[in-house]
Amino acid sequence: MATLLLLSGPNLNLLGDREPEIYGTTTLADLVASARSTAEQLGFDLEHVQSNAEGGLIDAIHNARHRCVAIVINPGAFTHYSYAIADALASFDGPIVELHLSNTHRREPWRHRSVITPVATGVIMGFGGDGYPIAVQVAVAKVLEATS
Ligand code: CA2
C-alpha cells in the first residue's frame, strides 16, 4: 500500500492542553487518528512524525523521498521562517499539502507570511481539525491524478 507522510511541527504535541480558543480541544493523537482513518478508507497508509526540532522534520522529509507518495505538513511556527524546511520539501517529488488549524491571516502580522507555500502544492487552513481529513483527501486526489 502507498504511504502518505503527515508531519507535525513544534508545539503541536501540546494541542488540546492550552489555547483551546485558537486551536480547539482536540489532541494531536485525535487529529492523526482522523487523518489515518481517511487515508485508510482511500486505500493508503499514513505515517506520522512530530518534531519540535527543525532537523527532525528535515530528516523525516529526506526519509520520505522515493518512499512516500505525498506529504501533508503542519510546520507550526517554522512555517514563517524555515528556509531549511522549504528547501527539504522542494527535494520531494510528490504533492505537498501545507496544513494549518488556524487561519494565520487573521492573526498576528508575523504569521501572515509562509515560506512553505511557494514549495507546496496547496494550502488548507482555518478549519481546525476538520482540515486534517480534507488535507489527506486532496493529497490522495493529487497522487491519483498524477498516476492516471
Ligand atoms: O494554525 C496552525 O496550525 C499553526 O501552524 C500552529 C502553530 C503556529 O505557530 C502557526 O502560526 C499556525 C502553533 C502550534 C501549536 O501551538 C500550541 C501552543 C500552545 C498550546 C497548544 C498548541
Q: pLDDT per position in the chain (148 positions), as tens?
A: 899 999 999 999 999 987 788 888 899 999 999 999 999 999 999 999 999 999 999 999 999 999 999 999 999 999 999 999 999 999 999 999 999 999 999 999 999 999 999 999 999 999 999 999 999 999 999 999 998 8
Is the CB of residue 122 less than 8 Å from the CB of residue 73?
A: no
Nearest to 95 by CA among 133, 54, 33, 142: 142
For the beta carbon of residue 90, count every other beta carbon within 10 angstroms: 11
Pocket test for ligand 1, best of 18, 21, 79 (most atoms within 8 A of CB): 79
> With b meaning 16 or more CB within 10 Å and e meaning fewer, what string describes 5-44?
bbbbbbebbebbeeeeeebbebbbeebbebbbebbeebeb
Cα of 14 vs centre of ligand 1, distance in Å, is: 9
CATH code reported for the domain at 3-147: 3.40.50.9100
Q: Is-catalytic flag, 81? A: no
Q: What is the CA radius of gyration of the chain?
A: 14
Going from N- to C-terminal start, the domains of the chain cover 3-147
Full-model pTM:
0.96
Beta carbon of 102 within 6 Å of any ligand 1 atom? yes
* Owner of C-alpha cell 476538520: 130
Q: In this predicted structure, what is the pLDDT of residue 32? A: 98
The Cα-based distances of 6 to 20, 68, 108, 112 in angstroms read 22, 10, 26, 23
Give the up-direction half-sphere exposure of residue 138: CA atoms within 13 A in the CB hemisphere.
Answer: 17
Element (H, E) at 123: strand 122-125
For ligand 1, say whether the CB of 27 is within 6 Å of any of its atoms: no
* C-alpha cell at position 43: 486505500
